[in-house]
């Protein structure tokens, strides 16, 4: 991916189409505004022509938009690059916002916000007015997508995510790799159920085929009730690349019935001579219920403990996955 980005940068420099307008905006509704103004600081400031170099807390001043609580600025910076930044309520770096974990770069203890500018289109990249020290614009919710491409040859057009939350536009939401096979991106959505897919490229024909065991109408599906980082999955798979699809293909270690169920499901462990760990996760990979060192050979999974949806019941022995089965709660 880095080679792709560098090549695109060289091309844009050679053609003169180097700069891209990016709008930084912050919603200060919940804050008392500093008399020294609202600023943004980051690793883009030198490229944007501000004095004092990058991460200067007092040089890039945001202007209030009318009588609103939103402060913003539009800058020209190179496209096809990732930028890190923070908002400052004042002009000293200690007055910078505290970034929630879901929005952070997150690697090597990096607590900055980030965005990737992937377009030279004659428009302005704008993700919305983020709430100061918050994850998303007001009344919106953050979803952070993660997909592992280690088994794929990544398209020269990049890796994307598209879904019903953005009109299934395969070009809008490009994912960025911080130097590994993991590609990720942040979107801001309304609460509710979203459907989505990953794309190795930027056209409809580049979509992944989501395995039936974790698909809903051939798509991935997620119930969004709050800010969430979706569990990492392997491209065109239901699980992490380190788990492997074969572990989901069968259920030789357990019997699970009735399934689907509107009341309860009975789990029978076929190997009755040892203890097991039983893990119930949702389609995002998030743990919902776990039973560690479980010794009985049967377990009643009650609907009262689970919302309607698709879950995975995984049986482990000595940290090794014995079997994983899909459970549908109606």
- pLDDT, one tens digit per residue, over 24-43 is 999 999 999 999 999 999 99
| pLDDT (mean) for 269-283 | 80
Average pLDDT of every residue of the chain: 87
Look at residue 59 and tell me whether its pLDDT is greater than 60: yes
- pLDDT tens string 127-184: 999 999 999 999 999 999 999 999 999 999 999 999 999 999 999 999 999 988 999 9
Q: Residue 189 has what pLDDT?
A: 97
Residue 177 CA to residue 159 CA, distance in Å, equals 9
Look at residue 53 and tell me whether its pLDDT is greater than 90: yes
Q: Residue 5 has what pLDDT?
A: 41
Q: Residue 15 has what pLDDT?
A: 37
Band of residue 295 on the pLDDT scale cut at 50, 70, 90: confident
CA R_g for the chain? 23
Q: Residue 252 has what pLDDT?
A: 55
Band of residue 11 on the pLDDT scale cut at 50, 70, 90: very low
Region of poorest pLDDT, from 9-13, 60-64, 93-97, 325-329:
9-13
Q: Which has the closest alpha carbon to 78: 39, 125, 40, 112?
A: 125
Cα→Cα distances 93→88, 100, 261, 297, Å: 7, 17, 55, 58
Element (H, E) at 249: helix 246-249
Cβ contacts of 265 within 8 Å, gap of 6 or more: 256, 257, 258, 259, 300, 301, 327
Whether pTM > 0.75 for this model: the answer is no
The residue that leads in pLDDT, 5 or 54, is 54
Assign 35 to helix, strand or coil. Answer: coil
Q: Residue 250 has what pLDDT?
A: 46
Band of residue 13 on the pLDDT scale cut at 50, 70, 90: very low
| Domains of the chain in sequence order | 2-131 (2.60.40.10), 141-234 (2.60.40.10), 250-329 (2.60.40.10)
Region of poorest pLDDT, from 99-103, 288-292, 317-321:
317-321
Q: Which has the closest alpha carbon to 238: 218, 259, 212, 216?
A: 212
Contact assessment for residue 194 and residue 224, using Cβ atoms and an 8 Å cutoff: yes
Cα→Cα distances 195→73, 254, 301, 310, Å: 33, 30, 27, 13
Q: Residue 8 has what pLDDT?
A: 40
The residue that leads in pLDDT, 210 or 2, is 210
For residue 247, give both structure tokens: 């572990």
Contact assessment for residue 93 and residue 100, using Cβ atoms and an 8 Å cutoff: no
- pLDDT tens string 238-262: 877 765 433 344 455 678 888 888 8
The helix, strand and coil proportions of the chain, stated in percent and rounded to the nearest 5, come to 10, 45, 45
Element (H, E) at 15: helix 2-15
Contact assessment for residue 146 and residue 183, using Cβ atoms and an 8 Å cutoff: yes
Element (H, E) at 7: helix 2-15
Q: Residue 136 has what pLDDT?
A: 98
Q: Which has the closest alpha carbon to 80: 173, 180, 12, 172?
A: 12
């Amino acid at each position: 991916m880095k080679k792709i980005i560098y090549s695109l940068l060289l091309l844009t420099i050679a053609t003169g189409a180097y700069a891209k307008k990016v709008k930084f905006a912050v919603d200060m509704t919940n804050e008392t505004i500093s008399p020294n103004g609202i600023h943004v600081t980051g690793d883009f400031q030198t490229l944007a022509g501000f004095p004092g170099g990058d991460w200067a807390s007092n040089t890039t001043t945001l202007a209030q938009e009318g009588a609103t609580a939103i402060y913003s600025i539009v800058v020209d910076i190179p496209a096809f690059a990732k930028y890190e930044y923070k908002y400052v309520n004042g002009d000293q770096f200690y007055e910078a916002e505290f970034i929630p974990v879901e929005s952070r770069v997150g690697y090597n203890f990096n607590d900055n916000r980030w965005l990737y500018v992937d377009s030279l289109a004659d428009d302005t990249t704008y993700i919305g007015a983020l709430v100061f020290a918050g994850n998303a614009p007001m009344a919106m919710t953050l979803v952070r997508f993660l997909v592992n491409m280690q088994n794929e040859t990544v398209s020269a057009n990049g890796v994307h995510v598209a879904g019903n939350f953005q009109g299934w536009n395969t070009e809008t939401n490009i994912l960025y790799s911080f130097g590994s096979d993991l590609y990720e991106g942040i979107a801001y959505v309304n609460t509710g159920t979203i459907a989505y897919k990953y794309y190795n490229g930027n056209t409809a024909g580049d979509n992944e085929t989501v395995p039936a065991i974790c698909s809903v109408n051939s798509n991935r599906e997620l119930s969004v009730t709050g800010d969430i980082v979706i569990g990492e999955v392997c491209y065109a798979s239901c699980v992490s690349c380190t788990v492997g699809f074969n572990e989901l293909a069968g259920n030789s270690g357990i019997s699970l019935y009735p399934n689907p169920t509107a009341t309860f499901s009975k789990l029978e462990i076929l190997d009755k001579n040892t203890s097991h760990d039983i893990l119930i996760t949702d389609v995002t990979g998030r743990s919902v219920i776990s039973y560690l060192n479980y010794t009985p050979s049967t377990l009643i999974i009650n609907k009262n403990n689970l919302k309607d949806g698709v879950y995975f019941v995984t049986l482990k022995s000595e940290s090794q996955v014995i079997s994983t089965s899909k459970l549908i709660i109606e």
